[in-house]
Amino acid sequence: MTPLSISVATDVYRDASRCEIVRHRVDHPALAELSRSLRTFIQSLGDEAADKFWWHSLGSIRRMGFTFCATPLPFSQAVAAAGGIDWDNMRRQVRLCEQLFPDAYKMLANLVEQLEDLSMESGSPFIEVLEQLHQQSGELCVVLRNPRMNQAVAAFFAQTATLRNARVVSPSQLRGGHLCNTLATIGPCNWFPEHVFSAPRAAAVHVVSLRWIHDSWKPGPVFLSNSDKSDSRSRNHRIGVMPKVSGDTHSENHFPNDFPPMHLLPPIPTSTEYGRSFAVESRDSEETVPARLCHLSGQRIVFVAADDGSSTLIIDTYEMVHAAVRRVPVGELELGHYLLLRTSGGGDFITPLADRIMGNLAKKRRSEQSEWKQRLISAATDRFGQLDRRKLAARVSAELQSQNLSQARSANVHYWMSSKCIRPRKTEDFVAILTFAGLEERFQELWSAMGDIDRAHRQAGKAIRRMLLHKITMTSLESLERDGEIIFELGDEDGGTLSAFQIIGIVAEDYNVPTDRIGVLLDMDD
């Protein structure tokens, strides 16, 4: 993050004292019709709109409708940047609707037809206004509501002669020392954090929004000034300088057909709903692990292992001139950290490299690792019956404690049973579980073998860190701060691609989820 130095803070104060917020209302009748038809349809469904059929049938329409309302891209390009539309599946849902809900069939079919027409358009109502602003100022910064479209919009600007010097910025960049000559937001003020307007990083902020979206935001003073206190008659605000508002302000009056800004945002299940759904799924899973749910930039989530000793790699940009890659316990993750995940080749990016380090020995060592775990689980099942993994771990823990073999808690035993664990840290704990599994005579052999795996994992972790540090020093992190994500191509040696995603929420509750979900990036709007 660009630090907020004293000189930059002075510039911010100066801009805030003279800032003018200019509203630009744009029109697109076909998009307005789609949005109104969709709202009418959802209102007619009432509580049934939350039904799985309608969620699935209307999901793409709602997401693409919002994308058209919030993205300065030709509509056809916006569809491609958003991942495309599965028209076959959408038409299949329309046919199914005709059978299941005949009264709603025509309305759904009409919505799909309207969306298809819009998706083929080669224009956008926002582009002309941005071109004019760009021409007037010579440069322009643009902030979007959906950061997942940042890269596509930045690429479009770079390829368009009339917008070549326009740049995409994020609200988080506008908290630091990132200053603009002219800033434009795509969408109403209510879509963006308050600081974008109340502590502006530009002398002029242009709000480019569709005419039929109601925008009730009004400026209030934030920074203290030396103006006469008697000039302020408001007891609800600190005394300061209010940004001026100009431009097309007529729709500050709320007309019946206007859309409240937040109504246009596509519905997204909460992180907690995801956690609960996977907790239910995990009841019948062969192997689960306690997990912490992190909400990431771009409406993504990921489960990270939260059992004893679990840690994860992050990029930390706070309080440092240069970003740092470090491993932190899961319990110490914070909002604003950038979580590193393997986004190709699977969720675990350490294991493939560790296996390469072990070379020909890897297959034998992994077999031995699997063997003692399976023997432990089989011994527990033979003794206590067919129970789920967590209950088996609790029984084994109680048995070891009653015989004074180990004071390990059930959470420890559960972790040792999982594929994520190499071996217990303490030799006496390993002796205890091998004794329970009937493998006590092989303790030295297996302790040494698991030591080979442990050393390979440590070497792999250090190698990954070195590669990341090298990549970070060679890579501008502007896109990370702008988009809340970045991809690091580390080559073939690591067996996959690493990506960093900004943490924007952490669910306090832990969930038991299948181990194959740990570290796997999930879209919340799927």
What's 207's domain CATH number?
3.40.50
Paired tokens of 287: 């192997």
Domain boundary residue among 456, 482, 498? Answer: 456
Q: Are residues 347 and 315 in the same domain?
A: yes
Q: Are residues 157 and 299 in the same domain?
A: no
What DSSP string describes 130-189? Answer: HHHHHHHHS-EEEE-S-GGGHHHHHHHHHH-GGGTTEEEE-TTGGGTT---SEEEEES-G
Q: Which residues pair with 21 in a beta bridge?
A: 205, 245
Q: Are residues 79 and 212 in the same domain?
A: no
- Give which of 67, 83, 79 is closest to 31, Cα–Cα: 67
Which residues of the chain are modeled with pLDDT < 50?
Answer: 222-242, 251-256, 282-286, 319-321, 346-347, 494-495
* Cβ proximity of 17 and 225 under 8 Å: yes
Q: Are residues 378 and 434 in the same domain?
A: yes
What DSSP string describes 192-208? Answer: S-THHHHS-SSSEEEEE
Compute the CA torsion angle 484, 488, 494, 496 (nearest 10 deg): 70
Q: Are residues 65 and 171 in the same domain?
A: no
Q: What is the pLDDT of residue 251?
A: 46
Tens-place pLDDT, residues 28-80: 999 999 999 998 998 898 888 778 888 888 888 998 999 999 999 999 999 99
Domain boundary residue among 71, 89, 123? Answer: 123
Q: Hey, is 477 helix, strand or coil?
A: coil
Cα–Cα distance measured from residue 358 to residue 362, given in angstroms and rounded to the nearest whole number = 5
Cα–Cα distance measured from residue 373 to residue 393, given in angstroms and rounded to the nearest whole number = 12
CA angle (159, 175, 168) in 5-degree steps: 5
Q: What is the pLDDT of residue 224?
A: 39
Cα–Cα distance measured from residue 486 to residue 489, given in angstroms and rounded to the nearest whole number = 10
Q: What is the pLDDT of residue 282?
A: 47
Q: Are residues 73 and 14 in the same domain?
A: no
Q: Are residues 134 and 203 in the same domain?
A: yes
Tens-place pLDDT, residues 228-285: 444 443 333 233 344 555 555 554 444 445 667 666 666 655 556 555 665 555 444 4
Domain boundary residue among 123, 149, 168? Answer: 123
Predicted model pTM: 0.67
Paired tokens of 333: 């993750």
Cα–Cα distance measured from residue 316 to residue 420, given in angstroms and rounded to the nearest whole number = 25
State how many domains the chain has.
4
Q: Are residues 161 and 257 in the same domain?
A: yes
Cα–Cα distance measured from residue 417 to residue 363, given in angstroms and rounded to the nearest whole number = 19
Q: Are residues 180 and 80 in the same domain?
A: no
Cα–Cα distance measured from residue 104 to residue 156, given in angstroms and rounded to the nearest whole number = 38
Cα–Cα distance measured from residue 307 to residue 403, given in angstroms and rounded to the nearest whole number = 25
Q: Are residues 78 and 212 in the same domain?
A: no
Q: Are residues 312 and 324 in the same domain?
A: yes
- Report how far apart, in Å, the C-alpha atoms of 459 and of each of 408, 424, 490 are: 28, 19, 16
Domain around 443: 357-456
- Report how far apart, in Å, the C-alpha atoms of 56 and of each of 32, 50, 181, 272 are: 22, 10, 43, 20
**φ and ψ at residue 152, rounded to 5 degrees:** -65, -40
- Give which of 420, 422, 424 is closest to 409, Cα–Cα: 424
Q: Are residues 245 and 283 in the same domain?
A: no
- Give which of 311, 305, 456 is closest to 369, Cα–Cα: 456
For 68, left (φ over 0), alpha (ψ -120 to 50), or beta? alpha
